Structures are given as C-alpha cells and as structure tokens.
Amino acid sequence: MVYSALNGGVLPEDRKRFRKVWKEEGSYRLAEVLLNCGRPDWTSYPDTFWIDPWIAKHLLAHCGGSPSPDPSLLCYFIDPWLKNKPLPDFVSEAPLIEEEKVRKLEKLFDALNR
C-alpha cells in the first residue's frame, strides 16, 4: 500500500527528483508526510498529495491509528521505494490482492485461536 500511495501520488516523470529529495530528508519524514496525505484536511499540510482514502485508512491502522500514529512503522516499506527497488515477487502491486491475503491469514489465525 505504501508503494501504491507513493506511485499514485507522484507522477512518473517526477519520481526521480522526488526520490532524490526524500532520500536526503529521510524515510521517517516521508512517512510523516504520507500519513498527513491520508488526513481529511491533507491540503493544509506541507508537501502532501492526494492518496486513496482506502489506502490511507490502512496506513493509519498499520501505524497505530489516531490520534498519534507512529511514522517509523512505514520506514521499512519506504526505504526500498526510495531506492527504486521493485516489490518482492510474492507481493502484488494491487493493494486489494494484498488485503485479501491478509484477510485469509487473519481467518486462519482466528481459527487456530478458537
């Protein structure tokens, strides 16, 4: 979802420059921006861009939710994106496919803990 948010929010022709800037700023700072992108009032924050609200909800939940999410939890995913590394082969670029995988794992986990 991090890749989807960044790839969807940054135009392909701007990505090289964007990555260069954010490598210097650091993945933690970009994580803060990404979480701000998911807020309803995202335009009032500096450096933000539109991301799909569905993705924003998942990013926020991954980081501990509101009111004070932990941006450091996104750095593991942002660092490879900044290095222009592709997703691992077992990860789909389609967030809905990845969400379905998580739902299946949650069902299995719930069944094991009954």
Angle, CA 40 vertex, CA 5 and CA 67 arms, to 5°? 95
The per-residue pLDDT for range 39-68, each reduced to its tens digit, is 999 999 999 999 999 899 989 988 998 788
d(CA 67, CA 64): 9
d(CA 113, CA 33): 37
Check residue 103 and give its pLDDT. 84
Per-residue model confidence as pLDDT tens for the chain (114 residues): 899 999 999 999 999 999 999 999 999 999 999 999 999 999 999 999 999 998 999 899 889 987 889 999 999 999 999 999 998 888 888 888 888 888 898 899 889 988
pTM for the whole structure: 0.83
104, 106, 112, 114 alpha-carbon torsion, rounded to 10°: -120
d(CA 82, CA 33): 14
